[in-house]
A and B are shown apart, each in its own frame.
Chain A
Amino acid sequence: DTGVSQDPRHKITKRGQNVTFRCDPISEHNRLYWYRQTLGQGPEFLTYFQNEAQLEKSRLLSDRFSAERPKGSFSTLEIQRTEQGDSAMYLCASSTRLAGEEYEQFFGPGTRLTVL
């Protein structure tokens, strides 16, 4: 399977604990995005990487959130001191852009986080 993969698929944690999610994009894609989706809503942008550089962060991304993409390959999203409001589906997507053409984003299956 050459699609976007995410791990874990589900995570249940207690309030105050730290969690880390991983995303493996399609190998030739240099653009990587994290989105958050809550029940009944569309995905909302969290952060963007071009290769290894984190070029944009949403105001939704509080100081408790951090994301990395070392060497421009996989990416991790860490949430420190989780709160119940962090419960959501965290989606990763990747894409590429060549010669000015806009390519669609391919999404992973998501990580569903439940904070008790």
Chain B
Amino acid sequence: AQSVAQPEDQVNVAEGNPLTVKCTYSVSGNPYLFWYVQYPNRGLQFLLKYITGDNLVKGSYGFEAEFNKSQTSFHLKKPSALVSDSALYFCAVRDGTSNTGKLIFGQGTTLQVKP
């Protein structure tokens, strides 16, 4: 079965420190991977994607993610966290059994950045 797992419900980090939000996936075929961020009472905002090419993908707001095929992971990272990064983060993978491009999402990880 295709799935996305975000093993941490919440990640706490101090402002200025590096952050990592973990994601692992299981999908048939080549994985198309995405990270989205959701602020309270708002829709999802696209951060970055991996389709092919370099394993390190750079995205919006200084975020990057590292694709690791052998570990089936796509962890989100940022070298220096900001308080304003505090939000709910979702990892998603394109459903490989469908041509529609529909996404399968993880359960989300709340990132709390403290001053």
Contacts and interface: CB of A to CB of B under 8 A. Distances in A.
Smallest CB-CB A-B distances: 9 pairs: A42-B105, A107-B43, A107-B44, A48-B100, A109-B43, A45-B102, A104-B46, A56-B100, A43-B105
Contacts of A107: 36, 43-46
A50 B105 CA distance: 21
Nearest to B108: A42
B58 to A, nearest CB: 14
Contact of A102 (B45, B94, B104, B106): B94
| Interface size grouping (class) on chain B | 20 to 34
Task: Tell me whether chain A's interface is mostly helix, strand or loop, or mixed.
Answer: strand
Interface residues of A, number: 29
B51 interface: yes
Interface string B77-115: 000000000000010101100101111111110000000
Contacts of A27: none
Interface of A: 4, 6, 31, 33, 35, 40-45, 48, 50, 55-56, 91, 93, 95, 97, 101-102, 104-110, 112
A43 B100 contact: no
Contacts of B106: 42
Contacts of B105: 42-44
